[in-house]
Amino acid sequence: MKENKFLYAVRFIACLAVITIHTRFPGKFGQVMDALARFAVPYFFAVSGRYLLDSSNDEPGYIRFRAIRALKRLLKVTGIVYLIHLVYSFIINVFRDQMAPLEWLTSKFNLTELSNFILYNSGRFIYDGSYTFDHMWFLFALIYVYLLICIFAKVLRKWYKGLIAILLFFLYLGMLLQTYYPIRPFGINICTWYVMRNWLFVGIPFVLIGVLFSDYIRSKVDILADADKKSWQKSTRLKALAGLIAGVVLTAVEIEIYGNKEVHFGSLMIVVSLLFLSECDMPLGSFAWKIGRRASSNIYYYHVLLIAVIDLCSQKGLIHTPAMWFKPLLVMAICVILFYLLPVITEKWLKMPSST
């Protein structure tokens, strides 16, 4: 399959967007950027669904094979990322904050936190005071989705369109309730960020949107002759760009009406528009897609630790506290250097012929 450079480039941009959520620009600009950045994780889910299944084969056994193969890769990555964050948490809490190892262990791993982790992919299982963001929820939510696709492979093609509509309805209903009628079902505060932002209301529908898009491309576009496909790309490019702009505008309007949410209506429009643009041979330069292909995953996985280290160095007086407007740019620059430029330079250096 030909590499989709547009998707790689947008993945890089989406990772930078996530950084602006976890270390925000100041003022109104920062609020708007935070809201616009909310497209990023739904986009990651949708792209995962876009290439999860071979849409030409609807056999349940083959669907399970593809999902299990993706699940194995994901479990390996999740294990490594989680272990690195766990070691960092142990070092900071035990050696800096003088917490007893047993106290650290019981504060993270107890029945209350287990319930938050199982139900919402969040809680102290995946974050604590040493790094204060639960970005790893995405990995665990994706594990849930892959497992559910394996279990329900037989009925996936029958149910998935209706399931997208139902879950998106409850996602946005829940977010409206957060603002206008903050209920507490079963004693759970619906205003808590992870109650609506989890495997059920975000992971499943956006992965299935990717699957639906893949099916659409197979049935409507892949069968077109080259001339017809170019015509489709031209018309679709204009519509998708209009949808992208509308999604940005709608997001800005939403934060004026009811404030920032985890997934805006505009976020959905942005994700769908980007999927269509990815099929239109959109140019995004010769550099961004390379970073996206090689470094975007590590940028997403480890930028939170980088933010924590910068904050720690600032507290210790080892560096000047970065200005609020500068800190996101600093984190972005260091991420690109660590996860893209240094590996590329190292590889080139190792491949250089010896002068002896």
Q: Which amino acid is at 112?
A: T
In a domain, 146, yes or no: yes
In a domain, 119, yes or no: yes
- What is the pLDDT at residue 1? 53
- What is the pLDDT at residue 284? 72
In a domain, 14, yes or no: no
CA–CA separation, 44 and 21 (whole Å): 15
Cα torsion 43, 46, 52, 56: sign = negative
- What is the pLDDT at residue 106? 96
In a domain, 257, yes or no: yes
CA–CA separation, 152 and 137 (whole Å): 22
Mean pLDDT in order along the chain per 10 residues (356 residues): 86 97 95 97 97 84 95 98 98 94 96 95 95 97 98 94 98 94 89 95 98 92 88 94 97 94 97 96 83 96 98 93 96 97 92 66
In a domain, 230, yes or no: yes
In a domain, 167, yes or no: yes
Tell me whether residue 314 is exposed, middle or buried, using C-beta atoms within 10 angstroms of its C-beta: 0 to 12, 13 to 18, 19 or more.
Answer: middle
Q: Which of 45, 23, 17, 27 is nearest to 198 (CA)?
A: 45
In a domain, 311, yes or no: no
- Per DSSP, helices labelled H in 109-225 are 111-120, 137-151, 156-180, 193-196, 204-216
Please tell me the total count of domains within the chain: 1
Residues 207 and 49: beta-carbon distance below 8 Å: yes
- Per DSSP, helices labelled H in 91-155 are 101-108, 111-120, 137-151
- Look at residue 297 and give its three-state secondary structure: helix
Task: Give the range of the structural domain holding residue 31, as residue numbers without chain letter.
Answer: 22-287
In a domain, 138, yes or no: yes
